[in-house]
Structures are given as structure tokens and as C-alpha cells.
Amino acid sequence: MGFLHQRRGLAPYLLLAPGMLWLAAFFLVPLGFLVYQSLQSGNIDFGYAFTWAWGNYWSAIKGYRGEFERSFEYAGLATVIALVVSYPVAYWIAFRGGRWKNLLLLFIVAPFFVTYLIRTLAWETILSDHGFVVRLLTDIHLVSPGGRVLATGTAVVAGITYNFLPFMALPLYVSLEQIDQSLVEAAGDLYASKWIAFLRVTFPLSLPGVVAGTLLTFIPAAGDFINAQLLGSPTSHMIGNVINSKFNELIDYPAAAAMSFILMAIILGMVLLYARAVGTEKLTG
Amino acid sequence: MTAVTPVADGAPATAEYDIRLIGLTKRFDDVVAVDNISLDIDRGHFFALLGPSGCGKTTTLRMIGGFEEPSEGRIELGGVDVARLPPYKRDVNTVFQSYALFPHLSIFENVAFGLKRRGIKGGDLRKRVGDALELVGLAGLDRRKPRQLSGGQQQRIALARALVNRPRVLLLDEPLGALDLKLRKEMQLELKRIQHEVGITFVHVTHDQEEAMTMADRIVIMNGGHIEQVGEPSELYEQPRTPFVAGFLGVSNLLSGTIVGDDRVKLQDGTEVRVPTAALAGRQGNVQIGVRPEKLRIGGGEENSLSGTVAESAYIGVSTQYILDTPAGPVTVYVQNDRLGAQVANGERLTLGWSPDCTFVVDAQEDT
């Protein structure tokens, strides 16, 4: 009996152990190493040494404030656009999709069958100076003659929006699909027009999906560098581009580590503020 | 199939109807869910729409509520056709089967939902919500969320949320289905009390005949998309007009026969029985006569009688149930156990007697 009892007491820990070990080995340890490296000084030729080099942080903030701000601006814009575009789509599939639901969802996920890099390169072609998008936009006077879309911030935001759209649409779909239609009927029964029923019942009940979707879009978007690299220009570079070049080209590990850490800290802070503003229970439904 | 269009009988021509259904039909693709029904529901009554699943009772209710658009026909609410109006423009409120309480809103906000849409605010709003919660016996729970309440409490909140708007008609879609038996019995009496207190017309959909009999003033029995019979519970039980009603409400003995006079029917074995003259009005040829098992007496002394042998018996305390084989067909009889040692053994021969007044007549079985 004692043995059985002991076994049951251990079970939760045994079940948690693989995940915890994974997180410890591949997240906590590297994170510690990141912090350690961010406080080193030196260079690749003479080696790096741990010197409590807080200066790495100050110079990252002072030197690349614009890139930091741009990262959050682009990620924020892309998140808002993705939300506005995805919500009606997810709504329509959830409530009007009928037997086509699964096929329609497959369409949303379909771009994932192509590599991220290839998809972004395709956008380079789509937005190129002689492509049909620029021609159309020129024709309707949204782009001045000879103007470009590629190599602008607009192209970067468009690329990010496109690439992260499924991360927004799928959680939205899941939360909308779970809404009991009799609640919408009940709102109509209680004198709410379709629009009021949406505002007072459907939308509030879909908030878990909105929160999940915005986080899943915003967090990776803020750290992205592929879109800015392929679709943007140096004036539309994001902090991800800087970290990439510090790490891969300049081999300045401490600076790259410090920037990564700052990026992470800011995102974490924003997520916490966001979670507090909308209520954490929205995250779990 | 004949179009049955019963109208609440006995109501004077000047009676005020809350709802009139006229030739109402609903088709889903090829399936006719509701087949050309007409019905008057008078003010202040507790109406039950009763029938087996798939009989069209819920579809009828949903058409009155505005959740399904009729394929044909009119729905008059206080004399105005509302068949094409959306739910939010109809003066009816619904208690949903699953309650459909808004999970993200407090109990107060749930009950206040309809009033707020109608622009009621402040002290008036608080008072009316408070009164409604008191009516259902749940005052003081207004800050809770629906998930913090028991099933029975949620049911009451759903009732309060609908009644607080003082609609012309309250629609109830099997509201007690999810409750356990004891709670269901309690709520049946509670609903009846509340209906008397507020005086609003209730239209209650159920498949439970006992529930309908307990609560309703009038019952509409539906089957296969049409109305079988409308009447008071006792009327439907004592004088069912169709074999379906006779079988759906309680147990009936139905025996085939042929009309041989103004008030006489000859059963298959040649026995002649007398039935009320009114029951045969307008009928001819083959019919079935019906007697409820508790109306049969062992021994003679009644005008109608039939003999047979006991094939099966079941002692159930307050009474004993026998099934007799008679030349006219099997007959079930309930005998009150008012004396000790009065049991009859299987195989014994018995004569059953019953009064012509307790006999009803329904259409002959087409083929079995």
C-alpha cells in the first residue's frame, strides 16, 4: 500500500520530467549562456572574457533604438492587419463553412506547405517594380509613376502579415467555432440585432482566440528579419536584421546577445501588460 | 393525409388569442418538419406542445420564436403577422433547452440583457432584475457567473432572463430535460406557480407526457409534423380521438370492430359493446374501440363485458397488472389491491366489465 501510495505521489513529477528536462536543457541553460555572453567583452581574434560589460546593453539601445522601434511598429501593424483580415474569414468558416469547413481551413494552412523563405522570395517577385501589383497600384494612383513598393516598409509589413496570417486565423477559428449558436439566438431573442449580438456575445466570447492569435503573430513578428531582409531596404531594417548581422557577419557575440535579451525582455513586458489588460482568463478561455 | 386543423375548442369567438398559427409549414430540403398546422393559443394559458422526437414540436416553437422561417403560413402574435420578422422584433422570449446563459456575463448582466436592449437603465433596471431573481427564488446571486451555479439554478436564471422582459408569450424548449428527476418534479410545480403569478401565456415543448399533464392547461399532441389533438389533459386522456393519442398518453386497450348501430360496435369475436353515441358521430365501417386498463372491472355488473384467460400478471404493490387473452385481442387490466389474497393465477378465466361512458373510439388500424 505504501509503495502504491508513493508511486501515485511521484506520478505527476514523472510525467512532468521530460518536458521540464527539455526546457532546462534547451531553454534555461542557453538563456543563462545568453545573459553570460551579453556581459562579455573582447573580439573574435583575441577571445571574449566575462567582464560585467553592461555597456553592451547601453550601446545596443543607443545605437539601434530606431530598429527596435521599427520592429514593434511593423509587428504591431502586421498583427492588427492580420486580425482585421482573418476575423471575417475565420467567422465565415466557423459559422457558414458547413461541410466545407475542413477544406477551407486547409486553404488557410496551405502556404505552410511551402518553405518560409520561398514564400517570402515569392513576395519579392509579386511586389517587384514591374510586377502586376505595382502596375495596378500605379493605375489607381496609390503609387506615383516610377514609385516602388519593394524595398519599403509597406512591403515588409505586407510580408510579415502574409507569413503570420495562419497563426492569427487558426486560433480565431477555434474560439469562434466553439461558440454555442444558441447563445447568439438567445441574444436575438433578447432584442439584440445581429450587430449588437455580435458585439455583446460573439466577439467577447471569441476574445481567447483574439488574444492567442495576436500573441502568436506579434511575438515571432517582432523578432523576424527575413521579411525585412528580402522585401525591405536598410531604412526598413528591424532589430532582427541587426542581431543577424552582428552574429553572423560581424561575429560580435556579446552585442548580439545583449540585443536578443533586450528584445526578449520588451516582448515579455508587453505580453504581461496585454494579459493584464484583457484579463489572463481570456488566454485559457 | 388529411390536413388536420383543430382549433382550441370551446373558446368563444371573442376570445383573445395571443398566438394564431395559420397553415404553418416548414420544409427542410425534402423533409416536411411541420405540415400545414393551424392552432390558436389563448391568452394566459399554459400550453404544452407534446410529441415524440421529430414530431415538429420544436420546429414549431422555433418558428414562433423567429429562429426558423416558415416555408408557408402565418404566425399572428396579438393579431399581427410576425412570420417574417427577426426574433429581436417579436414580443416573445425563449427559455432554451441548454439555457444558453451568456458565460462571460454575470447573472445580473444576463437577466438585464433584454431590458438594456430596450433602453431601461439605472434604478428601474436594478429593480426589475431584482424582482425577476426573487420570482425564481435566486435573489442575491446577481454577481456570480453562470458556471458557478448548479443546473437547477441556471434553469431558473434562464427563466428569469426571459420573464423579466414581460413578453406577450414565453416559449420553453424542453427546459427541464437536463435536470434530474427530483429537480424536474420540483421545477414542474415551480413553473406552474410562476405562470399563475405572472399570468403570461406559456408555450412549453416536451416529449414527456407526464410533464405535460402535470403543468399544462391545454395540450397539443403532435405527430409526424401535424397536430393529432388539442385539449385539456383529462379530455385527451379520456377521449383520445386517434390511435396515436390513445397510445402516447398512457396505456390503452384498442380492440378492432365494426359499427353496427348508433351506439354499438361489434368486435372481431362477435361480442357487441355499447359506446357513447357522440363517439360514433360521423363514423362508419371499421373502427377501434378503446378502454383504459384502470376502467376495467373483474366480474360482471357492467353493460360491456369480455372474457379471457390470464396470460401474464405483474404485482406492483398498489395494483396488479394482468394481460388477458380474449377472442377480441389482448387486454391489459389494472386491479387495485384493496384486499389481501385477491390475486388471480395465470391460466384462470376472467370476465371483465366496463361502462360505455369509459369507452372511446378511434380510427381502425390501417395495416399491422
Longest dimension (CA), chain A: 84
Residues of A whose CB is below 8 A from B92: 189
Q: Do A188 and B66 touch (CB under 8 A)?
A: yes
Q: Using an 8 Å Cβ cutoff, are B353 and B299 in contact?
A: yes
Nearest Cα to Cα of residue B78 among B65, B90, B60: B90
* Residue that is last in its domain, among B191, B210, B238: B238
B contact residues 91-120, partner A, Cβ 8 Å cutoff? 92-94, 96-98, 100-104, 113-114, 117-118
pLDDT in tens, B2-38: 444 444 444 444 457 889 999 999 999 889 999 999 9
Tally Cβ neighbours within 10 Å of residue B289: 24
Residue B359 has pLDDT above 50, yes or no: yes
DSSP string of B55-91, one letter each residue? SSHHHHHHHHHTSS--SEEEEEETTEE-TTS-GGGSS
What is the least distance, in Å, from the CA of A250 to any CA of chain B? 53
Could you list the pLDDT tens digit for every one of the 285 residues in chain A?
Answer: 455 556 668 888 999 999 999 999 999 999 999 999 999 998 888 888 889 989 999 999 999 999 999 999 999 999 999 999 999 999 999 999 889 999 999 999 998 899 999 999 999 999 998 888 999 999 898 888 888 888 899 999 999 999 999 999 999 999 999 999 999 999 999 999 999 999 999 999 999 999 999 999 999 999 999 999 999 998 999 999 999 999 989 989 999 999 999 999 999 999 999 988 887 565 554
A211 close to B (CB below 8 A)? no
Q: Are residues B91 and B157 in the same domain?
A: yes
Q: What pLDDT sits at residue B4?
A: 42
Residues of B whose CB is below 8 A from A200: 113
* Residue that is last in its domain, among B238, B261, B282: B238
Q: Do A182 and B113 touch (CB under 8 A)?
A: no
Residues of A whose CB is below 8 A from B97: 182
Q: Are residues B339 and B207 in the same domain?
A: no
A182 close to B (CB below 8 A)? yes
Q: Do A188 and B86 touch (CB under 8 A)?
A: yes
- How many structural domains compose chain B? 2
Nearest Cα to Cα of residue A33 among A261, A239, A220: A261
Q: Are residues B192 and B54 in the same domain?
A: yes
pLDDT in tens, B96-146: 999 999 999 999 999 999 999 999 999 999 999 999 999 999 998 989 999
Q: What pLDDT sits at residue A241?
A: 94
Size of the A and B interface in Cβ pairs below 8 Å: 62
Residue B266 is part of which domain span?
251-363
B368 domain-assigned: no
B3 domain-assigned: no
B45 domain-assigned: yes
Mutating which of A175, A191, A193 best tests the B interface, going by the most B Cβ atoms within 10 A?
A191
Q: Using an 8 Å Cβ cutoff, are B273 and B356 in contact?
A: yes
Reduced to 3 states, what is the DSSP secondary structure of residue A60?
helix
What is the helix (H) or strand (E) element at residue B222, kind and residue range?
strand B218-223
pLDDT in tens, B168-226: 999 999 999 888 888 899 999 999 999 999 999 999 999 999 999 999 999 999 999 99
Q: What pLDDT sits at residue B12?
A: 41
Comparison of pLDDT for B277 and A80, the residue scoring more: A80
Q: Are residues B269 and B234 in the same domain?
A: no
B167 close to A (CB below 8 A)? no
CA pair distance A89, A176, nearest whole angstrom: 11
Cell numbers 501510495 label which residue?
A5
Q: Are residues B34 and B158 in the same domain?
A: yes
Q: What pLDDT sits at residue A3?
A: 54
Helix axes A253-278 and A55-63, enclosed angle (nearest 10) = 70
CATH code, domain carrying B334 = 2.40.50.140
The answer for residues whose C-beta is within 8 angstroms of residue B200's C-beta and 6 or more apart is: B44, B163, B166, B167, B168, B169, B170
CA pair distance B20, B14, nearest whole angstrom: 14
pLDDT tier, B162 (very low <50, low <70, confident <90, very high otherwise): very high
Q: Are residues B27 and B92 in the same domain?
A: yes
pLDDT in tens, B329-343: 899 999 888 888 778
A285 close to B (CB below 8 A)? no
pLDDT in tens, B287-314: 999 999 999 988 877 889 899 999 999 9
CA pair distance A39, A55, nearest whole angstrom: 8
| CA gyration radius, chain B | 24
Residue B167 has pLDDT above 90, yes or no: yes
Q: Are residues B179 and B146 in the same domain?
A: yes
* ipTM for this model: 0.82
Q: What pLDDT sits at residue B13?
A: 41
- Report the mean per-residue pLDDT for chain B: 90
User: Which domains does chain A show, CATH number per domain?
Assistant: 64-284 (1.10.3720.10)
Hey, what's the cell of B225? 409534423
Mutating which of B89, B94, B99, B159 best tests the A interface, going by the most A Cβ atoms within 10 A?
B94
* Residue that is last in its domain, among B238, B267, B289: B238
Q: What pLDDT sits at residue B166?
A: 93
What is the least distance, in Å, from the CA of A62 to any CA of chain B? 45
Q: Are residues B232 and B285 in the same domain?
A: no
Q: Are residues B232 and B256 in the same domain?
A: no
